[in-house]
Structure 1
């Protein structure tokens, strides 16, 4: 069992979640139950799955939750691209977010590959 609050992947994904909330706070009000909600839920999913997986008794289970976290990250990337297409975010905001998201994905992937499964 891992202490999730000590994991850098959890800390960084938690901060990223806050960034997504800040970005989506500027979206149009009629997107509150659309893209805003989807992005926020997916961003919350990353640190949440890391935390939940860390409580599991086996590394196989933990690895499964890390895969789900990575899936949520790719979901966010897609949704950010759609937000750009719709004019809700600017290119520089998108690029900054995707750079951070890719770093988180790499960190989770490395951590997962180092688990003794």
Structure 2
């Protein structure tokens, strides 16, 4: 198991970065008229996910990290909603969006798992029961 020294060592951050990069590549296929509308919103919410993971990791406490992971999850839901809207408006095709939504679902599972692990770390340890 790799030692985590930096947010860059976190697989969840790496996947968040891949998702954000995929969104920027997908965005060039959107109509120019959406550059400052939905495209900007989708890019901003996608970029927010790994940014908040990184910022939270660099904070001083597990509680802060959990809070920023929660913000990342909110950004993930916002991003998915915007991407689904883009397909509803025929700004993006289902073929282009499906792999990105698959990556997004995996990222959501990873965020949930990391949060659960961190919550366990914060849970008070109960004294062992005697015989």
Q: Indicate the TM-score class for this superposition, using the shorter chain for normalisation.
A: over 0.9
Q: Pick from 26, 31, 35: which aligns with 2:29?
A: 26
Question: Comparing both structures, which one devotes a greater share of its residues to helix?
Answer: 1
- In structure 1, the partner of 2:56 is 53
Cα distance, 1:2 vs. partner? 5.5
State the Cα deviation string for residues 35-77 of structure 1 (Å, max 9, x = none). 0000000011000000000011111110000000011111111
Give the distance between the partners of 2:25 and 2:59, measured in 1 at CA.
Answer: 32
The structure 2 residue matched to 1:43, chosen from 42, 46, 50, is 46
Q: Say which of 106, 111, 116 aligns to 2:109.
A: 106
Q: Structure 1 regions of 5+ residues with no counterpart?
A: none
Name which one, 1 or 2, has greater alpha-carbon Rg.
2
CA distance in 1, matches of 2:59, 2:18: 23
Query: Aligned equivalents of 1:15 and 1:94: distance in 2?
Result: 14
TM-score, normalised to structure 1's length? 0.95
Q: TM-score, normalised by structure 2?
A: 0.85
> Secondary structure of the equivalent of 2:116?
helix
Which residue number in structure 2 is paired with residue 4 of structure 1?
7
